């Protein structure tokens, strides 16, 4: 498979603290890769580095090659061209990611219009509306005409997250980064979003970088995983191996804790 992302010896640091160090991994086209870690492990910072959206106080060194373009040290004008076209991100809480004062249809339409203009295609209102309907169908949103007129607070959390995914797909990225996309959702809706993401990778031929602290969810999504702790890679490999037969003691503790949590839930049922 063609390589869409290569991270080599990534180091992220402020003036007085190293946040991520020595991080290396690759992601191929059509592959689902999981990044696992507790809060503060550096997984979300890594995703920001990939998209060139690190805070000014954090400096990156090493190599990040995205769709053949080097990200580390690239000028902002080049990074702007990669965002949307090469990579797009879905964040944890769509209620804060979406504009509360704008109808959902218009929020999806904005990146659609930018993409059509960039591709030199007609961008009339009917053209944009047709594309918005297609995206809403791809993310399995029902009754698109009603939802296009609705505001974020008028729909469920799962529907808001599907809108956020539609917006991310609007520019037809090669890589979709999903940063804790199921954390704010109930268990049933989590399963629906996981199924949706898996099907989108297959149907659209895109790659997925799935970031989460939830081992069970990552196990349902990813083909390969990497476990992070304190900014370092702890263990990496096929998901079914790392999550069922981990070699590192830290990964073993994570798996054991997840098993105890599942057992407690079953006992309460």
pLDDT digits (tens, 9 = 90+) for 44-87: 999 999 999 999 999 999 999 999 999 999 999 999 989 989 99
Its pTM stands at 0.92
- pLDDT, residue 130, reads 96
Q: Quick check: 263 pLDDT over 70?
A: no
Q: Quick check: 266 pLDDT over 90?
A: no
Q: Do the strands 69-70 and 59-66 form a parallel or antiparallel pair, or are they unpaired?
A: antiparallel
pLDDT digits (tens, 9 = 90+) for 146-194: 999 999 999 998 999 999 999 999 999 999 999 998 887 888 889 999 9
Q: Do the strands 32-37 and 207-212 form a parallel or antiparallel pair, or are they unpaired?
A: parallel
User: DSSP H helical segments within 90-152, as ranges?
Assistant: 94-97, 104-118, 125-138, 144-149
Do 108 and 135 form a contact (C-beta atoms < 8 A)? Answer: yes
Query: What mean pLDDT, rounded, does the chain reach?
Result: 92
Q: Which residues pair with 176 in a beta bridge?
A: 88, 208
């Amino acid at each position: 498979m063609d390589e869409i992302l290569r991270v080599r010896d990534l180091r992220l640091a402020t003036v007085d603290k190293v946040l991520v160090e020595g991080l290396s991994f690759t992601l191929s086209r059509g592959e689902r890769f999981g990044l696992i870690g507790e809060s503060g492990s550096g997984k979300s910072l890594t995703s920001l580095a990939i998209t060139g959206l690190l805070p000014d106080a954090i400096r990156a060194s090493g190599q990040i090659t995205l769709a053949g373009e080097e990200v580390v040290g690239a000028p902002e004008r080049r990074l702007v061209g990669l965002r949307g076209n090469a990579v797009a991100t879905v964040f944890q809480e769509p209620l804060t990611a979406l504009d509360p004062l704008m109808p959902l249809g218009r929020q999806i339409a904005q990146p659609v219009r930018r993409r059509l203009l960039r591709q030199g295609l007609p961008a009339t209102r009917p053209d944009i509306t047709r594309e918005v309907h297609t995206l809403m169908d791809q993310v399995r949103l029902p009754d698109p005409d009603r939802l296009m007129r609705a505001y974020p607070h008028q729909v469920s959390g799962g529907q808001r997250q599907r809108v956020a995914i539609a917006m991310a797909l609007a520019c037809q990225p090669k890589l979709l980064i999903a940063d804790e996309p199921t954390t704010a959702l109930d268990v049933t809706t989590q399963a629906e979003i996981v199924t949706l993401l898996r099907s989108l990778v297959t149907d659209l031929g895109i790659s997925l970088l799935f970031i989460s602290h939830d081992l069970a969810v990552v196990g349902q999504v990813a083909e390969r995983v990497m476990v992070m702790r304190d900014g370092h890679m702890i263990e990496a490999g096929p998901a079914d191996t790392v999550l069922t037969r981990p070699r590192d003691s830290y990964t073993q503790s994570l798996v054991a804790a997840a098993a105890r949590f599942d057992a407690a839930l079953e006992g309460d049922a």
